[in-house]
């Protein structure tokens, strides 16, 4: 099945519903694209980091998600994949960091099936990130690196990951740019563009990526 093309508020609402479902004991997945280009900011992101004037000039709405981290520019070519796991699920690790490993590996394998080489970010690599990139990641998600995200052989970030935990259930949210380059976000948030140099979009469609990824999730 192809990813659903949804209005931006519907993508956010669907993610929340998926987490509620997991709290109730059922695992689930969502694959979606945004029907219009939207700036999605983190739950605790400051208004001062957003260039509202640029967003208004370009007709780019700004909405806030329930998970933390920096903003993501979600155009119709960006694939969002959400995975919700209930308490006690075999894939849900109590260690918040290690819980990303299965998901990152599924992305690596799915992209490999499409001829795209990637690797997991190690814990040590993420911890060694310079302060400048850490600060930039609080404004633009793709500027940073977290354990078990996916980068290409040159170290350019492909897949971003974040998660929410509530009542021992978890919602993992992933994004892969198949349209606009992640660095395009520098028009809409106040971030040093240099910190987004190590990112890239892929030349595959959201449909093709989801078809390769879905069978590997094991949810």
- Mean pLDDT for 194-212 is 96
- What token pair was written down for 194? 């240099």
| pLDDT of 1 above 80 | no
Rounded mean pLDDT of 87-107?
95
Give dist(CA 72, CA 141) in Å, integer. 6
Domain positions in the chain are 4-216
Whole-number percent of the chain with pLDDT over 90: 94
Q: Cα separation of 195 and 120, whole Å?
A: 20
* pLDDT tier, 69 (very low <50, low <70, confident <90, very high otherwise): confident
pLDDT at 151 over 90: yes
- Helices marked H in the chain: 8-23, 52-58, 101-113, 123-127, 131-137, 206-213
The pLDDT confidence band at residue 66, using thresholds 50, 70 and 90, is confident
Q: Return mean pLDDT, the chain.
A: 95
Please give the Cα distance from 159 to 42 (Å, whole number): 17
Is pTM beyond 0.85? Reply is yes
Q: pLDDT band for position 155 (50/70/90)?
A: very high
Helix extents (H) in 94-214 = 101-113, 123-127, 131-137, 206-213
What is the predicted pLDDT for the residue at 67? 81
Q: Cα–Cα distance between 89 and 66 in angstroms, integer?
A: 22
Cross-strand bridge partners of residue 170: 85, 165
Question: How sure is the predictor about 154, in pLDDT bands with cuts at 50, 70 and 90?
Answer: very high
Q: Are 118 and 71 in contact (CB under 8 A)?
A: no
Give mean pLDDT, residues 171-191: 96
Q: What is the mean pLDDT of residues 66-74?
A: 90
| Per-residue confidence (pLDDT) for residue 98, from 0 to 100 | 94
Q: How many residues does the chain have?
A: 219
Q: How would you write 30-54 as a 3-class SS string? A: EEEEECCCEEEECCCCCHHHECHHH
Q: What is the pLDDT of residue 39?
A: 97
- Residue closest to 176 by CA, chosen among 58, 75, 30: 75
Q: Which one is the CATH code of 4-216: 3.30.2130.30, 3.30.930.10, 3.40.1190.20, 1.10.1740.110?
A: 3.30.930.10
Residue 156 confidence (pLDDT): 96
Residue 37 has pLDDT above 80, yes or no: yes
């Amino acid at each position: 099945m192809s990813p659903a093309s949804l209005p931006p508020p519907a993508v956010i609402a669907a993610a929340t519903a998926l987490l509620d479902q997991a709290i109730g004991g059922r695992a689930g997945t969502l694959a979606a694209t945004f029907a219009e280009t939207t700036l999605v900011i983190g739950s605790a992101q400051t208004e001062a980091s957003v260039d509202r004037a640029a967003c208004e000039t370009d007709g780019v709405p700004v909405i806030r998600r329930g998970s933390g981290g920096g903003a993501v520019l979600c155009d119709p070519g960006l694939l969002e994949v959400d995975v919700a796991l209930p308490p006690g699920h075999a894939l849900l690790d109590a260690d918040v960091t290690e819980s990303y490993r299965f998901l990152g590996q599924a992305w690596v394998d799915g992209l490999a099936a499409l001829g795209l080489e990637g690797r997991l970010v190690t814990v040590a690599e993420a911890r060694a990130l310079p302060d400048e990139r850490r600060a930039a990641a609080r404004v633009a998600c793709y500027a940073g690196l977290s354990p078990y995200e996916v980068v290409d052989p040159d170290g350019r970030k492909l897949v971003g990951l974040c998660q929410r935990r509530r009542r021992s259930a978890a919602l993992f949210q992933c994004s892969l740019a198949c349209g606009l380059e992640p660095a395009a976000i520098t028009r809409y948030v106040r971030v040093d563009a240099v910190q987004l140099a190590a990112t890239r979009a892929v030349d595959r469609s959201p449909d093709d990526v989801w078809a390769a990824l879905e069978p590997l999730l094991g949810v």
